[in-house]
Amino acid sequence: EAGVTQFPSHSVIEKGQTVTLRCDPISGHDNLYWYRRVMGKEIKFLLHFVKESKQDESGMPNNRFLAERTGGTYSTLKVQPAELEDSGVYFCASSQTRTERAFFGQGTRLTVV
């Protein structure tokens, strides 16, 4: 069974540019989560999809971040325009049910210069 996959693994962009991160969850997992870890701090929740619907987006830092999950399969997280403080590792996770453990992808390391 394929795990959660994230693209790209690394991205270096200039301040003000746009970046789109992609997450492919495990097939059949309705629940999809985005988290990020900034500069060695704790991993923080960004948002939660159930199928194509945003269940909870309370962790999204501001309106420069836009997440979508069209068709309830893969998800994208767009940062536009990127700022220096957006640098960090962005993790995606999926689970089959709310109560099951989450399976994490390898993360996308974003560096804004």
Partner 1 sequence: AQSVAQPEDQVNVAEGNPLTVKCTYSVSGNPYLFWYVQYPNRGLQFLLKYITGDNLVKGSYGFEAEFNKSQTSFHLKKPSALVSDSALYFCAVRDNNNAGNMLTFGGGTRLMVKP
Contacts to partner 1 by CB under 8 A: 3-4, 6, 31, 33, 35, 40-45, 48, 55-56, 58-59, 91, 93, 98-99, 101-107
Q: How many CB atoms lie within 10 A of CB 13?
A: 17
Looking at the Cβ atoms of 27 and 58, the one nearer to partner 1 is 58
* Cβ closest to partner 1, residue 85 vs residue 100: 100
R_g of the chain, CA atoms, integer Å: 13
Provide, rounded to whole angstroms, the least separation between the CB of residue 10 and partner 1. Answer: 10
Terminus-to-terminus CA distance in the chain, angstroms? Answer: 37
Residue 59 to residues 1, 27, 34, 45, 54, Cα–Cα distance (Å): 30, 25, 9, 5, 12
Q: How far is the CB of 45 from partner 1 (least distance, A)?
A: 4
Identity of the residue numbered 83 = E
Whole-number minimum distance, CB 108 to partner 1, in Å?
10
Nearer to partner 1, 9 or 80 (CB): 9
Tokens representing residue 40 in the block:
């060695």
CB of 49 to partner 1, least distance (A): 11
Locate 113 and state its tokens: 């210069």
